[in-house]
């Protein structure tokens, strides 16, 4: 670990040339961040280049600031959670790098978004999430039980779109359950950043996140859509309908707590048929279950 070889992308795709074109890093940062904020590619590439030149200028080409690693709770290896720039440069230059191990819980507490209604409150995230055998409970503890209501044939081999994905718990669970490709869409950038960082531990291919305000139509080619307690937070319901109507197969709708079927006829009646599947939890603050859950056939 101390030589930085755990930086998987650099280890498997080292094409950085002696002309210092930084091709590999640009490929990496584009793949990781390009769908969120294209300006970040240029900013991060410059940061990487400046650090690389600083290391070259040091006597003995040494890196003094340790990277931070976390041991996966189930897999027998570690992941870099801070210092990817330093690790990739150390690997490319063939030099050693100091490291510090922190716990998964330390990493979660440090990186969990805290601004906004659907961020962490008193250290508790809105959604629960699972990393191997480790469970971080959120104010919504019913993530796994919700997926028990979803038909496997609507997920396996399908493209899934998770609207208002928060930190991506349902996004990752859809991929775990066999989706061919999953997109999580979220308005709040901090949420997306944390969701993407979680994939350090999930290591899932074809999971993507997009920053988008659902008050504007989101164009896509998804087979199945998750729309879980989203509509009350929007002012433009027509834009949401436009997004939902692009689904090729079906929509799973979770209504807001305390709402009736009549409250959602504006949406339900726009599609060929719908089926009531039960109710999900209102949240950590109560033991009641009043969030109506539907499967909508487009």
Full domain range(s) for residue 126? 113-297
Least confident of 96-100, 107-111, 265-269: 107-111
In a domain, 1, yes or no: no
Are residue 256 and residue 134 in the same domain, yes or no?
A: yes
Is 140 among the domain residues?
yes
Please tell me the distance from the alpha carbon of residue 267 to that of residue 226, in angstroms, as a whole number.
14
Tell me: do 136 and 284 sit in the same domain. Answer: yes
* 275 plus 148 within the same structural domain: yes
Q: Are residues 21 and 124 in the same domain?
A: no
The answer as to whether 62 is a domain residue is: yes
210 and 153 within one domain: yes
Which of 55, 70, 102 lies at the terminal end of a domain, its last residue? 102
**pLDDT given for residue 32 in this prediction:** 54
Does residue 94 surpass a pLDDT of 70?
yes
Which CATH number do you get for residue 199? 3.40.50.150
Q: CA of 61: how far to CAs of 11, 47, 57, 92, 93, in Å? A: 20, 18, 7, 12, 8
Model confidence at 267: pLDDT above 70: yes
Q: Looking at the structure, do residues 76 and 200 belong to the same domain, yes or no?
A: no
Same domain membership, residue 98 and residue 131: no
Query: 85 and 16 share a domain?
Result: yes
The tens digit of pLDDT for each residue in 2-46 reads 333 333 434 443 333 333 444 555 555 555 555 556 676 677 778
Specify the pLDDT at position 25: 54
Q: Are residues 85 and 173 in the same domain?
A: no
CATH number at residue 35: 3.90.1530
133 and 258, same structural domain?
yes
Same domain, 211 and 149: yes
Mean pLDDT along residues 263-287: 91
Residue 253 lies in a domain: yes
Across the range 275-297, mean pLDDT stands at: 89
Is 37 part of any domain? Answer: yes
DSSP codes of every residue in 242-268? HHHTT-SSEEEEEPPTT--SGGGHHHH
Residue with the bigger pLDDT between 25 and 104: it is: 104
Pair 32, 119 in one domain: no
Q: Give pLDDT, residue 137.
A: 80
Whether residue 218 lies inside any domain: the answer is yes
Other Cβ atoms less than 10 A from the Cβ of 149: the count is 16
pLDDT at residue 78 greater than cutoff 60: yes
Q: Please give the pLDDT value at position 3.
A: 31
For the chain, how many structural domains are there in total?
2
Query: Higher model confidence: residue 1 or residue 51?
Result: 51
Q: Is residue 60 part of a domain?
A: yes
């Amino acid at each position: 670990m101390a030589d930085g070889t755990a930086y998987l992308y650099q280890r498997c795709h080292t094409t950085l040339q002696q002309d210092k074109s930084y091709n590999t890093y640009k490929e990496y940062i584009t793949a990781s961040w390009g769908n969120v904020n294209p300006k970040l590619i240029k900013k991060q590439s410059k940061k990487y280049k400046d650090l690389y030149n600083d290391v070259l200028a040091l006597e003995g080409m040494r890196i003094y600031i340790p990277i931070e690693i976390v041991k996966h709770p189930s897999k027998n290896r570690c992941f870099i959670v801070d210092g990817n720039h330093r690790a990739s440069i150390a690997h490319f230059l063939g030099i050693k790098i100091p490291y510090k191990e922190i716990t998964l819980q330390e990493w979660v507490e440090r990186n969990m978004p805290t601004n906004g209604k659907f961020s962490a409150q008193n250290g508790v995230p809105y959604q629960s999430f699972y990393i191997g055998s480790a469970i971080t409970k959120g104010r919504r503890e019913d993530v796994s039980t919700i997926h028990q209501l979803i038909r496997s044939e609507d997920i396996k081999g399908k493209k899934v779109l998770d609207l208002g994905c928060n930190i991506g718990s349902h996004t990752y669970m859809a991929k775990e359950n066999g989706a061919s490709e999953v997109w999580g869409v979220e308005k709040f950038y901090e949420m997306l950043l944390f969701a993407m960082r979680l994939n350090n531990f999930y290591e899932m291919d074809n999971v993507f996140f997009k920053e988008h305000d659902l008050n504007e139509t989101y164009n896509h080619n998804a087979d199945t859509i998750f729309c879980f307690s989203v509509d009350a937070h929007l002012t433009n319901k027509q834009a949401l309908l436009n997004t939902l109507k692009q689904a090729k197969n079906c929509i799973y709708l979770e209504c807001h707590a305390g709402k009736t079927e009549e409250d959602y006829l504006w949406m339900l009646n726009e599609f060929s048929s719908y089926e009531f599947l039960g109710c999900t939890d209102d949240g950590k603050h109560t033991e009641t279950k009043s969030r109506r859950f539907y499967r909508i056939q487009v």
